[in-house]
Amino acid sequence: MKKIIYVLSILIVLILLTSCSISTGKSYKADGFALGTIITQEVYGRDARQVSVEAMDKLKFLEDLMTINDLDSDSSKLSMNAGKGYVELNPETISVLKSARKISDLSDGAAFDITVAPVVKAWGIGTDNPQIPSEETLKKLVPLINYQDVQIDEASNKASLAKPGQMIDLGGIAKGYAGDVLREIYQKNGIKSGLINLGGNVIAVGSKPDGSPWSIGIQNPRSETGGIVGIIQVSDKAVVTSGDYQRYFEKDGKRYCHIIDPHTGYPADSGLMSVTIITSSSTDADGLAKAFVLGLDKGMDLVKKYNQSYSPADAIFITTDKKIFVTPGLHDNFKLEDESHEYTCIKKG
Ligand code: AMP
Ligand code: MG
């Protein structure tokens, strides 16, 4: 009898050990579409599939809140009530508005500003019919841009837009926020290792299952096939890029990108092709990537300011003359891997 119990307990221990190793080594890859972009998830750990489904559901929920294409969204609610006082919004929208304010404040509204919406609309950015608005139209709309007119009453989850005609566009920060929320879902479910890609916004959750950092490719802004110019190694970081190759249109040989200079109302044209921000907060990284508007030097200054005011951030700026500028934290990390042989890497102080 004793022998049987002994054998049985060894068997039970063995079964427990094997099931444990199967579940921790388990991975799941999921693709989907939300927030206007392709979503991919690589999740390692127990319940990986279930966690990816929960994440996808959450993305759909956030899309419904933040989209400008639906009259019932929080974005539309706020815009439709511009100049009419406060409206109650979901606490998650309030949280995004607060983060937007924080990032806009860093540049006094010269780079990231969610009230660019009326101008974004006039250019038809994100639609099938982008167009160049008349000077007259822009003259009327640019004065409506002012992030300080977004007033937030956190205690009651309310917000308002000061002037009639003002609108908000969360397209430049919603994906970033979604990245942070997804990471929280992973962590809440005990996932220690995962990679989330929200249309170019990458969130590295922990490290790879073997403990080594994730390798993230930095896109070649002029590659038609999604080629890269380099690779960085990161753990527990968001890697977020804004570039002139996403949603641009061309007219008479000129490229018009989807990022608007809040001061002029014109698509940014500051000698950059892309800006990649690497920091812990995916929300902040998305907002900061609009340093794109400012060009190389002022853009780099903005990243430095974020470093000093909040938390460590690194950046990769790629200029139109194909130079790649990387901040000190990436000097030994960024590896030039440029199949086109057109780019050079410059280590910025
Ligand atoms: P992203 O895809 O993160 O590069 O953000 C670009 C999107 O943000 C655009 O499609 C617009 O919806 C919006 N946007 C454009 N210009 C700005 C700006 N200066 N500040 C904030 N959002 C912007
Ligand atoms: Mg972005």
**Per-residue pLDDT, 32:** 96
- Ligand closest to the CA atom of residue 257: 1
* Final residue before a domain boundary, out of 172, 192, 226: 172
Question: Ligand 1 pocket, 116 CB below 6 A?
Answer: yes
* The model's pTM: 0.92
Q: Do 95 and 197 fall within a single domain?
A: no
**Per-residue pLDDT, 3:** 52
Q: Do 253 and 342 fall within a single domain?
A: yes
CA 125 to chain centre: 18
- Ligand closest to the CA atom of residue 36: 1
Question: Ligand 1 pocket, 170 CB below 6 A?
Answer: no
The mean pLDDT values, 10 residues at a time, for the chain of 349 residues are 49 37 65 96 96 98 96 98 98 98 98 98 92 97 98 98 98 98 98 96 97 98 95 98 92 92 97 98 98 98 98 98 98 97 95
Question: Ligand 1 pocket, 169 CB below 6 A?
Answer: yes
- Distance of CA 172 from the midpoint of ligand 1 (Å): 4
List Cβ<8 Å contacts ≥24 apart for 149-156.
Answer: 149/115, 150/97, 150/100, 150/101, 150/114, 150/115, 151/86, 152/94, 152/97, 152/98, 152/101, 153/86, 154/94, 154/98, 156/86, 156/88
What span, in angstroms and rounded, lies between the C-alpha atoms of 112 and 100?
Answer: 8
What total of structural domains would you count in the chain?
2
In this structure, what token pair is assigned to residue 13? 């221990």
Question: Ligand 1 pocket, 259 CB below 6 A?
Answer: yes
Question: Ligand 1 pocket, 112 CB below 6 A?
Answer: yes
> Contact, 54 vs 194, CB < 8 A?
no
Question: Ligand 1 pocket, 244 CB below 6 A?
Answer: no
- Distance of CA 7 from the midpoint of ligand 1 (Å): 64
* Final residue before a domain boundary, out of 172, 192, 227: 172
**Per-residue pLDDT, 200:** 86
User: Closest residue (by CA) to atom 6 of ligand 1?
Assistant: 172
> Contact, 120 vs 79, CB < 8 A?
no
Range of the domain at 245: 12-63+173-347
What span, in angstroms and rounded, lies between the C-alpha atoms of 339 and 323?
Answer: 15
Count of all residues that appear for the chain in the document: 349
* Final residue before a domain boundary, out of 134, 156, 172: 172
What span, in angstroms and rounded, lies between the C-alpha atoms of 241 and 147?
Answer: 22
Q: In what order do the strands lie in the sheet with 37-44?
A: 27-34, 37-44, 193-198, 201-206, 237-243, 272-279, 313-319, 323-326, 344-347
Instruction: Tell me if 6 is assigned to some domain.
Output: no
